[in-house]
Chains A and B, each alone.
Chain A
Amino acid sequence: MTHSLHRHGSRESLRNDFVFLATPAAGINHEGSKEKLIRILDLIYQLGPANIGSYETGTILAGATIEEIKARLAEVPRVRTAFSSREKVKELIRQVKEEDLGLSITVSGLIEEVLAMAQELSIQPHSVNLSLGVHGRTADLPSEEILEFVTMCGHGMISARLVQDTIDRVKKGNLTPEQAARRIASPCVCGIFNPDRARELFQKYVPLHRHVPALAPEGPAARDLGSGALS
């Protein structure tokens, strides 16, 4: 139902992770919405998002430009973007409300944070999609640490193996956490993957000093791992 809803992670890790979607309703107000979405894209870009994507072009992280994204919006277009700053996403909501473009706006994030922003902007939210968790054969899932990365792409395009392979490369000193974040972000075509949060997760889970043996059973590197799941 929704690819931005089921992000795993601690409250602290999710606190500055927001997905902003602007969506015209097919058959109701989608005609003529392209210009409005282009306006919203301009507002987003000026504020400096963590990511922007488009099914037609891929994401800015994968090399698409904002001009390409604007030029190739679909018949029933959508804007999808991730932010790592509460202040930026709040300012975006304020601007979109002020311009009264009439498109539906959803924000995914910590409930308390989104509701607080709405209250500060005198907005009464309409409805909410709640995540009631994962059920079924959950023992087959990868570790919770891996899930924190892969669930930032709700479409399931980022493989657990790619995350594990990237963690191994960071451990060996072949990638920085920032490069690693961009690598695993690339399969997300819609632009809601948050590379800033991914970088922080790499910094949290992977020993940073290449001269420290990453897989040593003792010593600072092993202690920093926190969980055996990523070793």
Chain B
Amino acid sequence: MQINPGTCTGCGLCLPYCPVGAIHLVGLEEAKPPRAPRRKACIDLEACTECGTCGRQYIVRCPTNSIQEDLDILDGPRSIRKYFSDPTTTHKLTRVPGRGTEEVKTNDVTGRFPRGKVGLAIEVGRPILATSFRDVEKITMALAGVGVSFEENNPLTHLMEDRQRGTFPAPAKAARVNSAIIEFTVPEAELEDVLQVIAVVSREIETVFSLDLVTSFARDGSLPLLTTLEKLGVCYRPNAKINLGLGRPPAQG
């Protein structure tokens, strides 16, 4: 994002809207006409994740419409930030809006998470702290080390330079994003080991992550995995996202 210094009046209206605090007011040192603003808003491009919030005129209502997006944002060097921060973008390969996948949303049709397997997602940077891809790589390398295979339909997987090692190219590692979602599926029998790896690496990162687990209901309507989670001492929130099974054609299995 860019703020036009020629039209910004330094009113500060945009500042609180930035989710990562990347907009600042800077004082103007140089000589200027008597009625010109004494300060202007400026975006710290290292901190900016290109989420687009400040540039949406219906949100911030900048009185001089001074905040604009780079014209090449979807193809240029900052496109990684854009795809992983602005939910209005749709990844070219996955055709899925946002930075994730359809996950449990369409599991009744896709059958991505059949009985006997669990889906895990590590939403790095959520809630609210954002993340660098260096932290994302710490986690993906730890998971790759125990043989995790990353979800093909997730844009993050397509960014990797080596999926076996879980590494990213230098341009990706320079990016800072609102969140990046590491997704994979494991057999239930391997869940405990993978959760151990996640617990260890959680102490090595400089941000937070929200952890998701997808599992299917048994034919009798129960959730057998809850017993497993209790045995492992893993807590889950009282609120969840439930697929009602109304999709057609139904997934096999």
Contact = CB atoms under 8 A, between A and B. Distances in A.
A157 B239 contact: no
A142 to B, nearest CB: 7
B181 A165 contact: no
A2 B102 CA distance: 8
Interface string B210-253: 11111111000101000001000011111111111111110000
Q: Name the residue in A21, A105, A136 with the highest tally of chain B Cβ atoms < 10 Å from its Cβ.
A: A136
A8 B238 CA distance: 10
Interface in A1-34: 1-8, 11, 14, 19, 21, 23-29
Nearest to A21: B105
Contact of A104 (B105, B129, B198, B235): B105
Interface stretch (B70-78, B141-149, B162-170, B199-207): B199-207
A131 B110 contact: no
Contact of B241 (A27, A103, A106, A123): A106
Given A124-B245, A135-B209, 7 more contacts: A29-B248, A58-B56, A106-B105, A108-B240, A132-B236, A151-B128, A187-B53
Interface of B: 15-21, 51, 53, 56, 58-59, 85, 87-88, 90, 94-98, 100-110, 113, 119, 121, 123, 125-130, 178-179, 181, 183, 198-199, 202-203, 205-217, 221, 223, 229, 234-249
Interface residues of A, number: 84
Sorted nearest first, the 10 A-B pairs with minimum C-beta distance are A1-B121, A126-B245, A102-B248, A104-B247, A25-B106, A132-B211, A136-B208, A126-B108, A55-B88, A131-B237
